[in-house]
Structure 1
Amino acid sequence: MNHTKRIGKLLLAGLAASLTLSITQVQGSTLDNLTQEEQKTESQIASLEVTIGETLASINLKQMGIDDLKAQIAAAEENQTEIKTAIEAQKEVIASRKEQLKSRLVALQTSNATTNQILMLIDSENFADFINRVYVVGQLQSADNEQIKSAISEEEKLTALEKQLDDEIQAVKTAESRLKSESTALAGELSSLKGILSENKTVLSQVKTEYATEAARLAAEEAQAKADAESADVAARAAEEQQVAESSSVVIGSAATTASSVQESAVASSEPAPVSQITDSSVASAEPAAVVTANAPAVTEAPAAQGKTVVVSATAYSRHEAGLSNFTATGIDLSVNPMVIAVDPSVIPLGSLVSVPGYGIAIAGDTGGAIVGNKIDLHMEDLNAALSYGRQTLTITILQ
């Protein structure tokens, strides 16, 4: 039976050691996956930030183009106003000339001017005088015709110029509208990119929190497994010592039986002295061994966590305090992983797992202006517990 117990304890020690190795392998695999996910998310964030910067540059360039087009539109509209004023003035001149020509034509039709011109030609003194008078009459009619043509041409030019200005203004306004539309689209794209960036940062924060939580959990499991393995090993050694002691008891029992036989033989032969010597020596040698066997202790206390110990002054805080947020300086969400302590990174590296008496295993994931040197600040979900914690001197362990 004792032999069976010993074998069972040895198997338990081996199983504990195997479990420790398995937990270590799982820990490395899980943390590697979280690290890869964190790196992937950080890479996506960096790419998004570059894209956002390029989009902002495009928006700024288009805005500059819009401002330039607005200046062109303002100048064209001012020029158009001046030309319209000139057109209106010219139209008044043209209308006046048309009225004058109309009056003259009416006068020619209602007067004897045509007869007078004919009489003037008839009254020519000679042929040369006739030619000169014909030329003069022709010049007068040509002058009237030129005035009419000039007025019509000027009116047509002004109208064409006005139409050209209208076309130019419309083209600039179309370009402005297109740039505004593109700028609006870019602004929408920028807003979408910012949303994606925000989501990626949230994912990154969650990954970091999961990493910290998983690391703390696996470290605790590994420490517990190591403690169980060491306890099992101590139990196995105690079982071996017990078996050795039981073997000694068997030997002592055999010696006692032999001594008793000798004693009986001595009594039968009436030789008491030898019996007395044998009995005394046998009992003297047997009694200490029996005592040792009965009082052999079994050590089952688990060893303390391995790591660097530091004496610190500890205080407490809570995310529920006014002015505090759910996120630490390293991005850990305290509503998801409340087991966080604020440290001085020069004393306790950020990201370390720390065993704090009366608090548990936490991650060094926050900092504070007042946390300098050998000081820590324990985060507590219960605000009243944090306020009543006060200041305590503790010996903490930075786990290896």
Structure 2
Amino acid sequence: MNHKKRIGKLMLAGLAASLTLSITQVQGSTLDTLTQEEQKTEAQIASVEVTIGETLESINLKQMGIDDLKAQIDATEESQIETKAAIEAQKALIASRKEQLKTRLVALQISDATKNQVLMLLDSENFADFINKAYVISQLQSADNEQIKTAISEEEKLVALEEQLADEIQTVKAAESRLKSESTALAEELTSLKGILSDNQTVLSQVKTEYADEAARLAAEEAQANADAEAVAAASKAAEEQQLAESSSAVAVAESASSAASSSVQAPVSQITDSSVAAVVTAPVVTVTAPTVTETPAAQGKTLVVSATAYSRHEAELSNFTATGIDLSVNPMVIAVDPSVIPLGSLVNVPGYGIAIAGDTGGAIVGNKIDLHMENLNAALAFGRQTLTITILQ
């Protein structure tokens, strides 16, 4: 009998040790796997945030170049207007000069001016008088020749102005073509950026869901394992108490009836069966519900008049991380919004600031208000409060 009881106790002890070892191994394995997955996911998120920051910087620089190009086109168009006005004035001047020359030549042909000039030379009183009259006639002819040269020069200037206008028009057309090409590239980069942002949000959602599921699974397994261990311990304790009670009863019987000591009376044998172990109340399993992560779709090309302020991560008591987990030291182009007005994760074009991510919130940011993050603390303090018309990009 004692031999069987020892075997039962050894079996119970072995079962308890096995359960404890199993719990330790399972927790160690799952926690190691979870840690590795978490580190891998964090590295991927950091990489995506760096890409988002670089893409936003590139887009804003390209937008600045487009704005400069538009200014150049406007200046060229104004210059074209001035050039056309100069050409019209030059045409009027040339027409006037030609009309004067025409009148002069006709007058010379129908008058006796040439003959009179010859007679005037023949009527000279002396050689000095002849020289003087010849000089006067030469000056008159030089004036006519100068008018002819001036008309020719003005015509050449007109041709040069027309060529300059043609070159400027070609320059403007080339600039317009470049502007269209830059705009197309900008749209493609915006589309790519939205895809990257969507992937980033998906990764974040998956990490949160997997973490919650893993935590719930570990909690349930730990609770079940603890309940099983408590059941085994309770069964072992009950067996020991029953054995002690049986030993005490046997001593009492031997002392009171020594004549019956040689009889075949035996203390009842207590055996631990599966039903006795199963009778132990099992602790309830704790189930942790994973939080549901929802994503708000971005608005479609919506304009909005807002009251804008600015802040900086360098302010006292502020950290580098936004409410959505964006690292401002990696991606500073972030604005705080009211999620009920501007969905988190949206791309927003802010005049004078650029294209940014709606990735932060604030207690004072309610309704049509936004807060622009600026890397320069002095610039953020000097920004004040401004009324702006922003665009929530498609």
Aligned with 1:27 (options 20, 26, 30): 30
The RMSD of aligned alpha carbons is 4.1
Aligned mates of 1:261, 1:172 — CA distance in 2: 124
Task: Give 1:126's aligned residue.
Answer: 126
Question: Does the 8 A contact of 1:13 with 1:229 survive in 2?
Answer: yes
Deviations 1:135-161 (A, max 9, x none): 232222212111100111122223323
Matched, 1:88 2:88: no
Question: Does the 8 A contact of 1:90 with 1:155 survive in 2?
Answer: no
Aligned partner of 2:281: which letter?
E
Q: CA deviation at 1:202?
A: 0.8
Q: SS of 1:10's equivalent?
A: helix
Q: In the superposition, relative to structure 1, how do residues 253 and 328 fare at CA in structure 2: closer, same or farther (>3 Å)?
A: farther
Task: Give 1:144's aligned residue.
Answer: 144
Aligned mates of 1:239, 1:33 — CA distance in 2: 44
Question: Does the 8 A contact of 2:242 with 2:270 survive in 1?
Answer: yes
Task: Give 1:54's aligned residue.
Answer: 57
Aligned partner of 1:327: which letter?
V
Task: Give 1:159's aligned residue.
Answer: 159
Deviations 1:193-232 (A, max 9, x none): 2211111111111111111111111211121122222222
Aligned partner of 2:283: which letter?
P
Q: CA deviation at 1:191?
A: 2.4
Matched, 1:74 2:77: yes
Question: Does the 8 A contact of 1:49 with 1:197 survive in 2?
Answer: yes
Equivalent positions of 1:288-367 (< 5 A) are 300-304=280-284, 327-328=293-294
Aligned partner of 2:160: which letter?
A
Q: In the superposition, relative to structure 1, how do residues 234 and 262 fare at CA in structure 2: closer, same or farther (>3 Å)?
A: closer
Question: Does the 8 A contact of 2:254 with 2:261 survive in 1?
Answer: no
Matched, 1:6 2:9: yes
Task: Give 1:234's aligned residue.
Answer: 234
Aligned mates of 1:93, 1:241 — CA distance in 2: 134
Question: Does the 8 A contact of 1:76 with 1:165 survive in 2?
Answer: no
Question: Does the 8 A contact of 2:223 with 2:285 survive in 1?
Answer: yes
Q: CA deviation at 1:13?
A: 1.2
Aligned mates of 1:82, 1:181 — CA distance in 2: 32
Deviations 1:20-44 (A, max 9, x none): 1112212321332343244334423
Aligned mates of 1:154, 1:3 — CA distance in 2: 128
Aligned mates of 2:203, 2:261 — CA distance in 1: 85
Task: Give 2:306's aligned residue.
Answer: none
Aligned partner of 2:186: which letter?
L
Aligned partner of 1:65: which letter?
D
Aligned partner of 1:129: which letter?
D
Q: CA deviation at 1:72?
A: 0.4
Q: CA deviation at 1:9?
A: 2.5
Aligned mates of 2:183, 2:91 — CA distance in 1: 40
Aligned mates of 1:122, 1:193 — CA distance in 2: 96
Q: TM-score, normalised by structure 2?
A: 0.59
Aligned mates of 2:295, 2:63 — CA distance in 1: 34
Q: In the superposition, relative to structure 1, how do residues 40 and 128 fare at CA in structure 2: closer, same or farther (>3 Å)?
A: same
Task: Give 2:20's aligned residue.
Answer: 17
Task: Give 1:188's aligned residue.
Answer: 188
Q: CA deviation at 1:133?
A: 2.6
Aligned mates of 2:112, 2:170 — CA distance in 1: 55
Task: Give 1:199's aligned residue.
Answer: 199
Q: TM-score, normalised by structure 1?
A: 0.59
Q: In the superposition, relative to structure 1, how do residues 238 and 200 fare at CA in structure 2: closer, same or farther (>3 Å)?
A: same
Q: In the superposition, relative to structure 1, how do residues 247 and 102 fare at CA in structure 2: closer, same or farther (>3 Å)?
A: farther
Structure 1 alignment gaps of length 5 or more: 264-281, 308-318, 320-325, 331-400
Q: SS of 1:155's equivalent?
A: helix
Question: Does the 8 A contact of 1:66 with 1:179 survive in 2?
Answer: yes
Matched, 1:39 2:59: no
Deviations 1:55-111 (A, max 9, x none): 343244224313312320231122122112213212322432453355467x28xx8
Aligned pairs, number: 287
Aligned mates of 1:306, 1:114 — CA distance in 2: 127
Aligned partner of 1:57: which letter?
N
Aligned mates of 2:49, 2:121 — CA distance in 1: 100
Structure 2 alignment gaps of length 5 or more: 297-394
Aligned mates of 2:37, 2:272 — CA distance in 1: 52
Q: SS of 1:150's equivalent?
A: helix
Aligned mates of 1:193, 1:222 — CA distance in 2: 43
Question: Does the 8 A contact of 1:231 with 1:302 survive in 2?
Answer: yes
Question: Does the 8 A contact of 1:16 with 1:232 survive in 2?
Answer: no
Q: SS of 1:211's equivalent?
A: helix
Aligned mates of 1:196, 1:294 — CA distance in 2: 66
Q: Which has the higher helix share?
A: 1
Q: In the superposition, relative to structure 1, how do residues 293 and 251 fare at CA in structure 2: closer, same or farther (>3 Å)?
A: farther
Deviates more, 1:168-177 or 1:200-209: 168-177
Q: In the superposition, relative to structure 1, how do residues 208 and 261 fare at CA in structure 2: closer, same or farther (>3 Å)?
A: closer
